[in-house]
A and B are shown apart, each in its own frame.
Chain A
Amino acid sequence: MPRRTMVEAIRDAMDVMMARDDRVVVFGEDVGYFGGVFRCTEGLQRKYGPTRCFDTPISESGIVGVAVGMAAYGLRPVAEIQFADYMYPGYDQIVSEAARLRYRSAGEFTAPIVVRMPCGGGIFGGQTHSQSPEALFTHVCGLKTVIPSNPYDAKGLLIAAIEEDDPVIFLEPKRIYNGPFDGHHDRPVVPWSRHPLSETPDGYYTVPLGQAALRREGSAVTVLAYGTMVHVAEAAAAETGVDAEIIDLRTLVPLDVDAIERSVRKTGRCVILHEATRTSGFGAELSAQVQERCFYHLEAPIARVTGWDTPYPHAQEWDYFPGPDRVARALQSVLEGG
């Protein structure tokens, strides 16, 4: 089985879909000739020509706006926002237009677009290259929100997203583009080639939206995580010896509540992880869901380990990032509780 990095897997997903479906077009800032600042579209313009993969002006409202118009025409646009942090000028087009077009036109017009955007920190990007805005999308009805944690899922989920008939926000944790990252920033970088989930079949396959994956089976506590934090959770479980059951949500909307419910009913404890700020973060929704569905099975209060409610700092990056030590403390404290 070929091994791919996240970048290669994401690029391969677009390549596979551009070859299968000539309605698929890929565009964004620097994605054409140059292949994107993270190289996710490298070679696609050369292979498919400049009307299938092209550079756009620096205008997120324009990028998403033309994508909506192209989708209404019948194309399958895959738009890249260079950093999730730059998404805000395009947010109105996502929220007021793409997300609601099917509903408001009673299905006459739809917006099957994928908006890809690198998210998260860990690269010393400061406040404008590190944000995790997933909750700003999960709060919007009409959108699906996906965030993969490994190359296998990234390729399968992106292909599924391109085939979706509804708009999909595809968040790509940039710190794990070129290797898994468990939060130990002081240790040498690990390449994807040593990770089993870098094995990605060639050609077409999908990972269906709305299905979580069990990353580690355990009985003591359920850990709900996505993106980079899945790797942090695995490290924390290994280092503490806590028998944690780690669920990688993969898709935030629609959410796999069955997987969550099954696990928490079994373990009776739940720790929720995300890199984004805490207040009104997606963890709040997860916590509410767990409480509503599993209250009588809980042995301890639900814990959240998240980024602090501050802008993403530069020098203090590792004080901000919810690394394995903070996760380990939460695991232990939830086990002591009840």
Chain B
Amino acid sequence: MTTEWQSLSLHVPGPPVRPGDRPDFSQMQIPRAGEVRRPPVDVAASDIHDLAYSVVRVLNRQGEAVGPWVPALDVDALKLGLRAMMKTRAFDVRMMMAQRQGKTSFYMQCTGEEAIACGFQTALGTGDMNFPTYRQQGLLIAQDWPLVDLMNQIFSNQADRLRGRQLPVLYSAREAGFFSVSGNLGTQYVQAVGWAMASAIRGDTRVAAGWIGEGSTAESDFHSALVFASVYRPPVILNVVNNQWAISSNQAVAGGESATFAARAHGYGIPSLRADGNDYLAVRAVADWAVERARRNLGPTLIEWVTYRVGPHSSSDDPSRYRPKEESDAWPLGDPIERLKKHLIVLGAWSEERHTQLQAEIEDEVLAAAREAERHGTLHDGPRPSAADMFRGVYKDMPRHLREQRQEMGV
């Protein structure tokens, strides 16, 4: 067959570099801190399309907070933020170690992403509800949720409130506004929209926050969530944590090469922003903006948090097989803890000595919590939830067939 056309070819995206190559973030366009405008909360989605292709940043290289997005946070609030991030990181280190020691089957860190959950949580109020993914432990730690409680869940021990039924880190903490983490990707995004719709139906004042990773935005549930959010305009903040990597798949595989994840909101008429997820002040400022929109019945906001997954996807993953080891050091937005620490030092409210001292205090606190949790047992050692617990809670009341199966098992 003769044709005037050349043969077609398929574009298969991937990261710019692989192990052994020099890290390369030259494609990222990062504005200077303070450069992006702060629109009024009742802005039309179409008037801020450019913000989905920019990055809201507050902290500059010198550690100063600059520009229109500087949040009104006093030094004590900043110190609490620093402490929450440091505690989250120390918790991750200890739990990863516990996994390596065989005390549990599985763990997931959020190293490098602490500012997002820790900062976002402080913008919410009592009664608001997060629908988190497995990498938002900072939402709980920023509220000083007891570490022992989280560890009991990770160890699936006798004191685990979830009775050993759920994979480690898939917490549930209703009182803390932390919805049960599914572990299926993307499914909870649309549930957050439903929860927010219910709040609006009931004339409540509470708001919901959905969480998803950039990789899971490829799921149809992401689209469903945006459609429903667009149609009913409920009080929901739709967070996309773009940490560049979905296990071994670079964000390009989820479509990040063709448009930003924030830009996906444009087709739905949902206001969207892109923000520096490693900048605690930017996180808080942008979260405040979106929460205020929700609270004032102005509807949903989509936020893409630009960050980097410093650690492996999970304890079962080895990122050196698919990305350069030096890539996290080359990440242009730096480390969230170091950046806030520097800011506090610039403000004259912090010092290296006090930082070292706080780090030691936190490590002691985490270690003490781990020892206490271990007294309740670990996955393979010590007391654990009973086999009879397995049959409970499938239904509100145990139906006959489950009673018979439990009897068959002899428990």
Contact = CB atoms under 8 A, between A and B. Distances in A.
Given A69-B195, A96-B187, A110 B396 contact: yes
A143 to B, nearest CB: 9
A107 B397 CA distance: 12
Given A61-B220, A106-B172, A97 B187 contact: yes
B393 interface: yes
A336 interface: no
B228 A66 contact: yes
A184 interface: no
Give the residue among A66, A103, A109 with the most B Cβ atoms within 10 A.
A66
A292 to B, nearest CB: 11
Contacts of B174: 105, 108-109
A30 to B, nearest CB: 14
A76 to B, nearest CB: 10
Given A104-B172, A106-B165, A108-B180, A57 B197 contact: no
Contacts of B196: 69
A73 B162 contact: no
Contacts of B193: 62, 65-66, 69
B227 A75 contact: no
Interface string B215-229: 000001101110110
A298 interface: no
B394 interface: yes
A48 to B, nearest CB: 11
Range for the number of chain A residues in contact with chain B: 35 or more
Contacts of A108: 161, 172-174, 180
A71 to B, nearest CB: 8
A141 interface: yes
A102 B184 contact: no
Interface string B367-396: 000000000000000000000000001111
Given A104-B166, A104-B182, A70 B197 contact: yes
B400 A257 contact: yes
Interface string B159-202: 00111011000101110000110101001111111111111111
A331 interface: no
A106 B201 contact: no
Nearest to A103: B393
Interface of B (DSSP majority class): helix
A166 interface: yes
A328 interface: no
A263 interface: no
A183 B396 CA distance: 38
Contact of B224 (A62, A74, A110): A62
A92 B182 CA distance: 12
Contact of A254 (B192, B194, B400): B400
A26 to B, nearest CB: 12
Given A61-B220, A109-B180, A69 B400 contact: no
A62 B395 contact: no
A199 interface: no
Contacts of A93: 187, 190, 221
Given A97-B191, A104-B166, A142-B395, A69 B180 contact: no
B221 A61 contact: yes
A138 B393 CA distance: 17
Interface residues of B, number: 47
A142 B190 contact: no
Give the residue among B129, B131, B395 with the most A Cβ atoms within 10 A.
B395
B220 A89 contact: yes
Interface in B112-168: 129, 131, 161-163, 165-166
Contacts of B161: 106, 108
Nearest to B199: A73
Given A57-B228, A61-B224, A104-B162, A96 B170 contact: no
Contacts of A142: 394-395
B187 A92 contact: yes
A25 interface: yes
A265 to B, nearest CB: 18
Interface string A252-290: 011101000000000000000000000000000000000
B17 interface: no
A106 B221 contact: no
Contacts of A210: 399
B11 interface: no
Contact of B401 (A72, A107, A255): A255
B275 interface: no
Interface string A54-85: 00110101100111111011110000000000
10 contacts: A69-B194, A73-B129, A73-B194, A73-B199, A75-B201, A102-B394, A103-B393, A104-B182, A107-B393, A254-B400
Given A65-B189, A72-B195, 11 more contacts: A52-B201, A66-B197, A69-B190, A72-B191, A72-B194, A92-B221, A93-B190, A104-B162, A106-B165, A106-B393, A166-B396
The 5 closest A-B pairs by CB, nearest first: A69-B194, A66-B194, A65-B190, A62-B224, A105-B180
